[in-house]
């Protein structure tokens, strides 16, 4: 195994932690690293994703994909979408999140027979995570407003 590979194994998992916990777990800077009085990085936008960033970006992708899924998928499309979620759950970079998601998928396999079935199923999966984290439940009747059509009050129209 390359030294690069073993270095990676020693690093704490940033995608499994919030940014503050991850930053606290970091070692002091190595000699030669930029000093504290170097200009700070302007933003974190070019840095690796922490658990929250990764979760927000991933849910955005997954819900958008569900809201644009065919209303009447072919059997092959439905099968592919089921496979997608099973594969996704093996490789989601936050390992503790992925373990729980795989358990949830066992009890609640993807509903891929239509766009609405998939979007509602995914909304429920997200609500399961919300509940675990003490976040508010999302109203799944509004999932297409949130992720495809924009809110009925027109606030996304301009």
d(CA 5, CA 156): 45
Q: How far is the CB of 91 from ligand FAD (least distance, A)?
A: 11
Other residues' Cβ atoms within 10 Å of the Cβ of residue 33:
9
Give the total residue count for the chain: 158
For the segment 19-58, give every residue that binds ligand FAD (CB under 6 A).
51-52, 55-56, 58
Q: How far out from the chain centre does Cα 18 lie?
A: 13
Q: How many helices (H) and strands (E) does the chain have?
A: 7, 0
* Only segment of 7-15, 27-35, 70-78, 97-105 that touches ligand FAD (CB under 6 A): 97-105
Q: How far is the CB of 147 from ligand FAD (least distance, A)?
A: 7
Q: Tokens standing for 48?
A: 């690796």
Binding residues for ligand FAD, rule: CB under 6 A, are 51-52, 55-56, 58-59, 63, 92, 96-97, 100-101, 123, 126-127, 129-130, 133, 135, 138, 143, 146
């Amino acid at each position: 195994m390359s030294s690069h590979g073993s270095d990676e194994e020693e690093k704490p998992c940033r995608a499994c932690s919030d940014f503050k916990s991850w930053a606290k777990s970091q070692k002091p800077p190595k000699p030669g690293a930029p000093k504290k009085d170097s200009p700070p990085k302007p933003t974190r936008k070019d840095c690796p994703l922490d658990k929250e960033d990764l979760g927000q970006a991933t849910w955005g992708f997954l819900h958008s994909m569900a809201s644009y899924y065919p209303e009447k998928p072919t059997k092959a499309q439905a099968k592919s979408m089921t496979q997608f979620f099973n594969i996704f759950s093996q490789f989601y970079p936050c390992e503790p999140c992925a373990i729980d998601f795989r358990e949830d998928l066992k009890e609640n396999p993807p509903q891929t027979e239509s766009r609405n079935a998939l979007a509602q199923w995914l909304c429920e999966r997200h609500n399961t995570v919300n509940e675990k984290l003490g976040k508010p439940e999302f109203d799944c009747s509004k999932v297409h407003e949130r992720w495809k059509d924009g809110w009925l009050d027109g606030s996304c129209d301009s």
